[in-house]
Homo-oligomer: A and B are copies of this chain.
Amino acid sequence: MINASSALKIVLENAPLLAVENVSLLDSLGRVPSHDIIASQDLPPFNNSSMDGFAVASSDLRRASAKHPRTLKVIGESSAGRAFAGKVTSGQVVRVMTGALIPKGADAVVPIEKVVECETERVRFLESPKPGQHIRSRGEDIRRGQIVLKSGMPVTSAALAVLAACGYSRLRVRRKPRVSILPTGNELVGITEKPKRGQIRCSSSYALAGYVEGAGGIPKLLGIAPDTKSRLRKGIKAGLDSDVLLVT
């Protein structure tokens, strides 16, 4: 008897690739792309703040502490979708919101909870921030040019977000395989029938159909084939125009 992994290998080596369809991003869920998908840009696309607070040059606050607070000047605001256009230089900070672009010259974010705000224009810092703190760096999740989804790997919900972030609104995917299921056996009757003595309802084909659907195929239940040569031949013939024929 042939073992399962050898059988799978033979099947995969002999299975032709299915035709390619161009579908909308949402419709690609659970489908398999026909080619490797490459990140078209760095993600995140720019250094941005992971906290509401102040973007600072960490060197400016190297000696700041509760005993020796340092007061810096607020020169502007960077909010999500409205970036601060200027540059942070010594003695200056920019108010930042979560997700906002980190202005030039700044290399750390001090969360709003950690500062004593004296006036709208001036802020007192009680701690020395580490360079890079509370900053999500450009490309720290994904680098431009990196493969984000390999050909033949199913598109997951999480992958949808990455693909959307990269601007893929449509995807080339393989068409779903059509899988015919042929239940065979003299003991089988249809599920709406009442089985006589020694008969059972044809049930496993429904489970198979469910698994096919769950795996991204299109199941088709063929009628029951009793154990005679001619009826089996007829059933098998009916399933041969599918991509896969499962005979139970």
Contacts and interface: CB of A to CB of B under 8 A. Distances in A.
B164 A202 contact: yes
B81 A185 contact: yes
Nearest to A44: B200
A161 B45 contact: no
A158 B207 contact: yes
Given A161-B203, A164-B191, A164-B201, A26 B214 contact: no
Nearest to A209: B26
A219 B37 CA distance: 25
A226 B166 CA distance: 21
Contacts of A83: 197-198
Nearest to A26: B209
Contact of A79 (B25, B162, B186, B207): B186
Given A26-B209, A185-B99, A197 B46 contact: yes
A59 interface: no
Instruction: For chain A, give the interface size range.
Output: 35 or more
Given A80-B187, A81-B186, A210-B29, A165 B200 contact: yes
Nearest to A161: B207
Interface in A186-217: 186-188, 191-192, 194-195, 197-211, 213-214
A164 B198 contact: no
Contacts of A179: none
A22 interface: no
Contacts of A214: 29, 157
Nearest to A214: B157
Nearest to A25: B206
Interface in A1-33: 25-26, 29
26 contacts: A25-B191, A25-B206, A26-B210, A26-B213, A26-B219, A45-B200, A80-B186, A81-B186, A81-B198, A81-B199, A81-B226, A81-B227, A83-B198, A99-B185, A99-B200, A157-B207, A157-B210, A157-B211, A158-B207, A160-B203, A160-B207, A160-B210, A161-B204, A161-B207, A167-B194, A168-B191
Given A46-B197, A81-B187, A160-B206, 5 more contacts: A25-B206, A82-B198, A101-B197, A157-B207, A161-B206
